[in-house]
Chain A
């Protein structure tokens, strides 16, 4: 096995895949080191049919809807990760074993999968505004070009509507928007009728730009509205990071090494040694490269950097968007049958930008409820299961779920800390604390009240607010904040890890601020820029 490469990338998630793509396109010799868990249980048994046909016809459906070990019947729904369906559970498989995390107040979701968390993300893509990029520490002029490059690679569909200043801005590489389902269409029509008064309060509603094709492209099909999006990727309409890795695998200048858990790096005179512990044999292996690009997710990068700098600093800051979800009842949908042709993705967004600065904007992503199956909705009802089933059958079409994200910045009470622990695979364990101040809690509560009031105006009556533990938004950043002062445990805005000559970071570790909007499109655009900077730095 070859162990020497010009460029080594750690991780195949959203950021690693994009960095790899940019480097391979430039013609250089690249290897990705990854643990690379894949779904071996369910992919092949899910039929390429729509949700209703499957429900009516497939005798095997219990295997993937409930899981071989019934892991798809969650009893503690507030657990981070319980939203993953059994065919997506591979995303978090082996994380406990290889990258354990312990905390009473922070429950991040981490992945060891080929394609990382990008194998199950909700595909929402947003350009950040200039004030947001400034607060993160990224240059707008460079990011705008990178957004275009990433959009053309992954394929984004969307619309230039009222929400465009918060979503697509002036992005050019955009496919036509997908067809809006009935449940969300009612809300959107209601918004259009009351737009002026809502806009005065800083409320804007628009279509969510999604990394979903609405036109066929190479081996990926345009969205077929089968409503199986949370279970399978048969048509490859939605972008998953493993698709990039598979596409690159046919290039002679690209190698994908699985079963490689990167422990740390050691800089040498003319390059970098990458120390790996193999997850299949437990053996140590040393890869060498001219330049190393870390993209194992912000917590993964923190682990590797802390070890590589000999545990000189064990505590690092961390940021994660506070998140809650609000099931709402839409009277206008009562008694309507759910249409067959739909998608499980959140197609509509509501933004709250009271002072109209496009900064510290709150948001609610709106989803209808069907393909996650009725029994999970029945569980949330305060009635007995038998009567609740009958009622929910009639009312299911009226439920809309609003996923509310808050913007977030770092503070002294939000941190991760590495501790030695001889019992783990790596001899250490990451721990953490995530506590919001009273003022932050109050600000978030006020924002939620305003969002709920807007939802009511749009005909969506909030039923209750369900808070997920911190970590539940699955948006993480800020462990090695961007800074150009060269201080250790920070990242230069060009991506170089301070205190090193040839180590770069392409994930969100440097981000100093997290807007409420999903960060992944920006993560990918930054990874693209980092890859370009690595090439310039030759």
Chain B
């Protein structure tokens, strides 16, 4: 398991990627606890993916998107998934997870997010392939 400061940095990066806001200390601490208890194993390839994801929110989004299509059960995604669950189970972020009602921008928003997701996946697949080539 990595050091506490590394885990806090990871928690901040993932939280920012998932919700686009800074997250509270309580969720960072829960993430540290989760990483200790789950002890998610990383292969060299997964470690390389993870290092790259931590470099920027953009890379994290693209690699996550690429893996979602190519290798959804990759352990690098498991860290993101764990944080997603932690954020959902906190009253601080409830409004980010409860169902949303119809609004004027509703269909526009779905369309825009959908297009962004596809673009991220396209770039992500290239990055993932590149990292895989380097690791093999």
Number of interface residues of A (CB under 8 A): 42
A146, B124: Cα distance in complex, Å: 61
A504, B90: Cα distance in complex, Å: 50
B126 within 8 A of A: no
Asked if A384 contacts B90 (CB within 8 A), the reply is: no
A96, B30: Cα distance in complex, Å: 29
B11 within 8 A of A: no
Chain A minimum-CB-distance residue to B101: A337
Known: A73-B85, A75-B81, A388-B117. A394 touches B106 (CB 8 A): yes
Known: A62-B86, A66-B86. A335 touches B96 (CB 8 A): no
B114 within 8 A of A: yes
Chain B minimum-CB-distance residue to A395: B110
> Which of B18, B19, B81, B101 makes the CB contact (< 8 A) with A73?
B81
Residue-by-residue, is B99-130 near A (CB-CB < 8 Å gives 1, otherwise 0)?
A: 11110001001100110110011001000000
B34 within 8 A of A: yes
Contacts of A375 in B (CB 8 A): 81, 84-85, 88, 97
Contacts of B64 in A (CB 8 A): 384-386
Known: A384-B61, A387-B117. A58 touches B91 (CB 8 A): yes
Listed stretches A29-37, A49-57, A343-351, A449-457; interface member: A49-57
A422 within 8 A of B: no
Residue-by-residue, is A364-389 near B (CB-CB < 8 Å gives 1, otherwise 0)?
A: 00000010011100110111111111
State how many angstroms separate the Cβ of A55 from the closest Cβ of chain B: 5
Listed stretches B1-9, B44-52, B66-74; interface member: B66-74
Which of A335, A373, A386 gathers most chain B CB within 10 Å? A386
Asked if B99 contacts A62 (CB within 8 A), the reply is: no
Chain B minimum-CB-distance residue to A386: B18
A70, B82: Cα distance in complex, Å: 9
List residues of A (46-80) whose CB comes within 8 Å of B's CBs: 52, 55-59, 61-62, 65-66, 69-70, 72-73, 75-76
> Which of A76, A336, A384 makes the CB contact (< 8 A) with B121?
A384
Interface of chain A, helix or strand or loop or mixed?
Answer: helix
Asked if B109 contacts A390 (CB within 8 A), the reply is: yes
Asked if A385 contacts B30 (CB within 8 A), the reply is: no
Known: A61-B90, A65-B89, A70-B38. A394 touches B98 (CB 8 A): no
Contacts of B73 in A (CB 8 A): 75-76
A494 within 8 A of B: no
Chain A minimum-CB-distance residue to B38: A70
Asked if B98 contacts A70 (CB within 8 A), the reply is: no
A76, B75: Cα distance in complex, Å: 11
Contacts of B20 in A (CB 8 A): 386
State how many angstroms separate the Cβ of B94 from the closest Cβ of chain A: 5
A58, B64: Cα distance in complex, Å: 31
Known: A62-B30, A396-B99. A385 touches B89 (CB 8 A): no
Asked if A70 contacts B106 (CB within 8 A), the reply is: no
> Which of B18, B82, B99, B114 makes the CB contact (< 8 A) with A389?
B18
Asked if B110 contacts A385 (CB within 8 A), the reply is: no
B78 within 8 A of A: yes
B134 within 8 A of A: no
Known: A57-B91, A388-B117, A394-B109. A69 touches B100 (CB 8 A): no
A62, B96: Cα distance in complex, Å: 16
Contacts of B96 in A (CB 8 A): 389, 393
State how many angstroms separate the Cβ of A474 from the closest Cβ of chain B: 24
A425, B101: Cα distance in complex, Å: 54
Asked if B84 contacts A385 (CB within 8 A), the reply is: yes
Asked if A66 contacts B61 (CB within 8 A), the reply is: no
A395, B117: Cα distance in complex, Å: 16
A394, B112: Cα distance in complex, Å: 13
Asked if A390 contacts B91 (CB within 8 A), the reply is: no
> Which of B37, B94, B97, B113 makes the CB contact (< 8 A) with A391?
B113
> Which of B38, B81, B100 makes the CB contact (< 8 A) with A379?
B81
A178 within 8 A of B: no
A321 within 8 A of B: no
A397 within 8 A of B: yes
List residues of A (273-331) whose CB comes within 8 Å of B's CBs: none
State how many angstroms separate the Cβ of B70 from the closest Cβ of chain A: 10
A338, B101: Cα distance in complex, Å: 8
Asked if A384 contacts B85 (CB within 8 A), the reply is: no
Chain B minimum-CB-distance residue to A55: B94
A52, B80: Cα distance in complex, Å: 24
Asked if B88 contacts A374 (CB within 8 A), the reply is: yes
Asked if B81 contacts A385 (CB within 8 A), the reply is: yes
A72, B85: Cα distance in complex, Å: 9
Which of B99, B100, B120 gathers most chain A CB within 10 Å? B99
Contacts of A395 in B (CB 8 A): 110
Asked if B85 contacts A393 (CB within 8 A), the reply is: no
Q: Top 7 nearest A-B pairs by Cβ distance?
A: A335-B102, A384-B65, A387-B117, A62-B89, A384-B64, A337-B101, A65-B89
Jot down 21 A-B pairs with beta carbons below 8 A, ordered by A: A55-B97, A62-B89, A70-B37, A70-B82, A73-B38, A75-B73, A335-B102, A375-B85, A384-B117, A385-B18, A385-B80, A385-B84, A386-B20, A386-B64, A387-B113, A388-B68, A389-B18, A389-B84, A390-B113, A391-B113, A394-B110
Interface residues of B (CB under 8 A from A): 17-20, 30, 34, 37-38, 61-62, 64-65, 68-69, 72-73, 77-78, 80-82, 84-86, 88-91, 94, 96-102, 106, 109-110, 113-114, 116-117, 120-121, 124
Starting from the known contacts A70-B85, A384-B61, 18 additional A-B residue pairs (CB-CB under 8 Å) come to: A55-B97, A62-B90, A66-B85, A373-B89, A374-B97, A375-B81, A375-B85, A375-B97, A383-B117, A384-B62, A384-B68, A384-B121, A387-B113, A387-B114, A387-B116, A389-B96, A389-B97, A393-B96
